[in-house]
Structure 1
Amino acid sequence: MRASLFLLQTLGTSCLASVTDAALGYPQALVRRIGHPVIWIGGLIGRLDRRFNTSCRTQRQRRLAGFMATGLIAAIPTAIAMVATRLIRRFLPHWLALPVTAVLASTLVAQRSLHDHVRAVEQAARESLPAARRAVSHIVGRDPEQLDEAGVLRAATETLAENFSDGIVAPLLWMAAGGLPGAVFYKSVNTADSMIGHRTPRHEAFGYAAARLDDLVNLPASRLSALWIILASLTLPGMRTRAALRIVWRDARAHRSPNAGWPEAAMAGALGIRLSGPRAYNGVQVAEPWVGDGTPTLRPDDLSRALALYRRACLIQTLTGLSALGLLARRLRGR
């Protein structure tokens, strides 16, 4: 009974957080005034990186230090979130505790922010290539000056697919499993991977633990995100559901990432386009396999279709969560 009540609370938090983020996002005024939870977590990661990832250490020592740092990165914010959750439940009435927790948790979801950033690339691409390059530089790590229009649009579409998984599906899934602390744990690990989980001379050893843990915590969400995209393709005209299923089965595991390939393959198949492929990072050409069978020459209308697919996938996820919440509540009332 207690487990069911806990799940009712965490699932309710996840659903309400999803709706709150979709409707309001995280106001830029708050970012300027107090920052953002990811910025605060990033500050902790940066301090640990400077303190423990020093050149005087051997590679083995750096890797061991990275395991310790990753543990601290995951544990400290999660512990703070647990204390915050307990204080909210203790000092606020039950009817107010859930929405307050959900509003706090919504800061860890990026539905509206991701949509707005990718939409900015689409609008800029309709104006000029330089404008599109400037817009896409805010959301990708590769050199935008090396990209033509199709490359810019592919990069934006790949970011949309990948971040649907690790910026929306994953935090909401961990929130449904563990409430605000679950979402904070996930976001801490994911932020650590984005900051130190790189195969560079400085971070290859120190960031090993963060990168591997991020792969693990993202595994269920990446598969689930592909499912949401495939289901969304069933509800929109012009989408190719069968192709999405085939491309996911064929190409998802061939991707450079054990997780990003799933939503990318689903989106490429549904839209009838090709994603991934060769690209340049910091001036270094990387030969990546293509994902999908369609054209790699994207146009702004293709990115507009990708955004429509993304919005529908977000809606399906929220409606599924609300349905599960209703079924669980009905079951508890029947006891």
Structure 2
Amino acid sequence: MVFSGDALWILVGALVLDALVGDPDWLWRRWPHPVVWLGRLVATGDEFLNLERWSDPVRRAAGAVGLLALVAVALASGYAIEVGLRALPAGLLWLALAASILLAGRSLYDHVRRVDLAFAAGGITAARHAVSMIVGRDPASLDEAGIARAAIESAAENVSDGLVAPAFWFALLGLPGLVAYKAVNTADSMIGHLSPRHRAFGWAAARFDDLVNLVPARLSGLAIALAAPAAGGRIGIAWRVMVRDAGIHRSPNAGWPESAMAGALNLRLAGPRVYAAGPVDEPFLNPEGGDATPRDIDRALRVMVAAGALHAALWLGLALALGW
């Protein structure tokens, strides 16, 4: 299925459906989203395989076994669903719809947009609440610039995690690859952090998530840099900031789209911040840039939309080149 013609056309259809429809709240209030089911599997593994009486090496090994089981279930489920959908009348359209459910471009846009709207409607208090829905930082510690930075960084990072990476793995491995990617990404978000409970058990999830995002993160940074003119930025500056600053981010992947966004908007991003687990002291990306303001959130959204359009155009071009 690697970059096959019909897979790419299905992917293009899924990207269009995600952009137009996104994740309708009315549907997922009545039925759990597939990511919720994946989260329940992760939580079950955390409950039964992450025992405090075990030593760190044993918990690390248990985390790796749990991750392998999670990925195996995701691959098998994705394969069964794909085979079943392809057997239906208009099966490729159903498959595009299924894939669109696991893309999060429109959902990301809507969540970041709510932060922008919250500033206008309710000021900094409302904006703190809105941004707490998309980042793990302590909202009480955020001033206006901190809220704007958090929203913009979330937009940049999730261009990769929510759009480019799942599309990449669908193009490579079809629906099994997409479901497996979402499983790994969900595991990383739930257990792949340095809290005392998950430092050892979540190690495998965090490292594997780094691996599966290695190529998509760099593609996302490139797309954001190329989209800089959508917000009045310059491609060359965004590119230079990305190449220079991506490596100073604590994440081997998030630094690429975030530093590209910093250069595209001429803002300084990242820097010191406070999470529930405590403060994080990091250098700024593009430290010579200005402080973020609420109006910069709208600029970031314009870059995000343009980057998403460039990304979809890439897959459309490959589909046309390969044919049906």
Determine if the TM-score, normalized by the shorter chain, exceeds 0.5. yes
Q: Given that residues 265 and 291 in structure 1 are in contact (C-alpha distance below 8 angstroms), is that contact kept between their aligned partners in structure 2? A: yes
Q: Is the 8 A contact 1:269 1:293 kept in 2?
A: no
Preserved CA contact (<8 Å) 2:262 2:285:
yes
Match of 1:200 in 2: 195
Matched, 1:178 2:198: no
Matches within 5 A, 1:128-139: 128-139=123-134
Which of the numbers 161, 164, 182 marks the counterpart of 2:156?
161
1:238 aligned to 2:232?
yes
Q: 2:180, 2:278 → 1: CA distance?
A: 33
1:209-248 correspondence runs (5 A): 209-234=204-229, 236=230, 238-248=232-242
* Counterpart for residue 312 of structure 1: 306
For 2:115 and 2:184, how far apart are their aligned partners in 1? 28
Classify the secondary structure of the residue corresponding to 1:220: helix
- Residues 141-184 of structure 1 show CA distances to partners (whole Å, capped at 9, x for unaligned) of 01011100000000000000001111110000111111111100
How far, CA to CA, are the matches of 1:296 and 1:60 in structure 2?
45
Preserved contact between residue 11 and residue 179 of structure 1 (Cα < 8 Å): no
Cα distance between partner residues in 2 of 1:175 and 1:35: 22
The whole-number CA distance in structure 1 between the counterparts of 2:228 and 2:208 is 31
Q: Which runs of 5+ in 2 are unaligned?
A: none
Which whole-Å deviations, capped at 9, do the CAs of 1:278-313 have from their partners, x for residues lacking one? 001126221111001444522121111110010011
- How far does the alpha carbon of each residue in 1:228-281 deviate from its partner, in whole angstroms, 9 at most, with x for none? 1111124x3621222111111110011010000000010000100000000011
**Deviates most, 267-276 or 241-250:** 241-250
Specify the SS of the correspondent of 1:311.
helix
**Partner of 1:216: helix, strand, or coil?**
helix
Q: Look up the equivalent residue of 1:156 and give its one-letter code.
A: A
In structure 2, the residue matched to 1:75 is 72
AA at the equivalent of 1:280: V
Q: Give distance in 2, aligned partners of 1:289 and 1:63.
A: 30
d(CA) in 2 for partners of 1:124, 1:7: 43
Inter-partner Cα distance in structure 2 for 1:237 and 1:31: 33
Q: Distance in 2 between matches of 1:237 and 1:107?
A: 29
CA distance in 1: counterparts of 2:88 and 2:289, whole angstroms:
55
Q: 2-side partners of 1:133 and 1:168: how far apart? A: 25
Q: Please point out which of 53, 56, 63 is paired with 1:59.
A: 56
1:148 aligns with 2:143: yes
1:1-335 paired onto structure 2 within 5 Å = 7-89=4-86, 91-93=87-89, 96-127=90-121, 128-234=123-229, 236=230, 238-282=232-276, 284-329=278-323
The Cα shift of 1:52 comes to 0.6
- Cα offsets for 1:213-239 (capped at 9, x unmatched): 0000000000000111111124x3621
Q: How many Å separate the matches in 1 of 2:292 and 2:62?
A: 44
Look up the SS of the partner of 1:307 in the other structure.
helix
CA distance in 2 between partners of 1:232 and 1:38 (Å): 29
The answer (yes or no) to whether the contact 2:99–2:178 under 8 Å persists in 1 is yes
Corresponding residue pairs, total = 323
Matching residue's letter, 1:33: R
Aligned partner of residue 66 in structure 2, secondary structure: helix
Identity %: 48
**More moved, 195-204 vs 8-17:** 8-17
Change (3 A) 1:270 1:70: same
Deviation at residue 88 of structure 1 after TM alignment: 2.1
How far off is 1:139 after superposition? Answer: 0.3
Distance 2:146 2:289 in 1: 12
Shift of 1:27: 1.2
Letter in 1 for 2:70: I
| 1:237–1:279 distance in 2 versus 1, CA, 3 Å | closer
